[in-house]
Structure 1
Amino acid sequence: MEPLRPDGEPTWASLSRREKVSAGLGMTGLGLGILAALAVAAVGGTLAVAFLSGDLIQADSGSTLVWALVLLLPCGLLAGACAVPVRLALRLIGVHGRAKSISDAAISMATTFLGVLLVEAFTPGLNVEHSWLPALLATLLVALVNLVIDRIECRKGNLKSGVR
Structure 2
Amino acid sequence: MEPQRPDGEPTWSDLSTREKASAALGITGLGLGILAVLAMAMLVGVLAVVLLSNGLIEADSTSSLVWAVLLCLPYFLLAGLFVIPVRLALRLMAMSGRMKRGADAAISVATTFLGALFVESFTPGLHVEHPWLPALLAALLVALANLVINYIERRKGRRSSELSL
Q: TM-score, normalised by structure 2?
A: 0.91
3-state SS of 1:127 partner: strand
Aligned residues of 2:68 and 2:123 also touching (Cα < 8 A)? yes
Distance 1:122 1:92 in 2: 34
Q: Give the count of matched residue pairs.
A: 164
1:68 positional shift: 1.4
Question: How big is the alpha-carbon RMSD for the aligned residues of Structure 1 and Structure 2?
Answer: 1.8
1:72 positional shift: 1.1
Q: Any gaps of 5 or more consecutive residues in structure 1?
A: none
Sequence identity (%) = 67
Which 10-residue stretch deviates more, 45-54 or 128-137?
128-137
Distance 1:55 1:68 in 2: 17
The residue type paired with residue 5 of structure 1 is R
Which 10-residue stretch deviates more, 121-130 or 77-86?
121-130
Distance 1:40 1:71 in 2: 14
Counting only pairs closer than 5 Å after superposition, residues 44-123 of structure 1 correspond to structure 2 as: 44-123=44-123
Q: Which residue of 1 is the match for residue 28 of structure 2?
A: 28
3-state SS of 2:78 partner: helix
Cα distance per residue 1:16-69 (max 9 Å; x no partner):
222222211111111011000001001110011101111111112222212212
- Runs of at least 4 residues off by over 3 Å: none
1:3 positional shift: 4.3
Aligned residues of 1:43 and 1:69 also touching (Cα < 8 A)? yes
Distance 1:9 1:159 in 2: 33
Q: Any gaps of 5 or more consecutive residues in structure 2?
A: none
Which 10-residue stretch deviates more, 97-106 or 64-73?
64-73
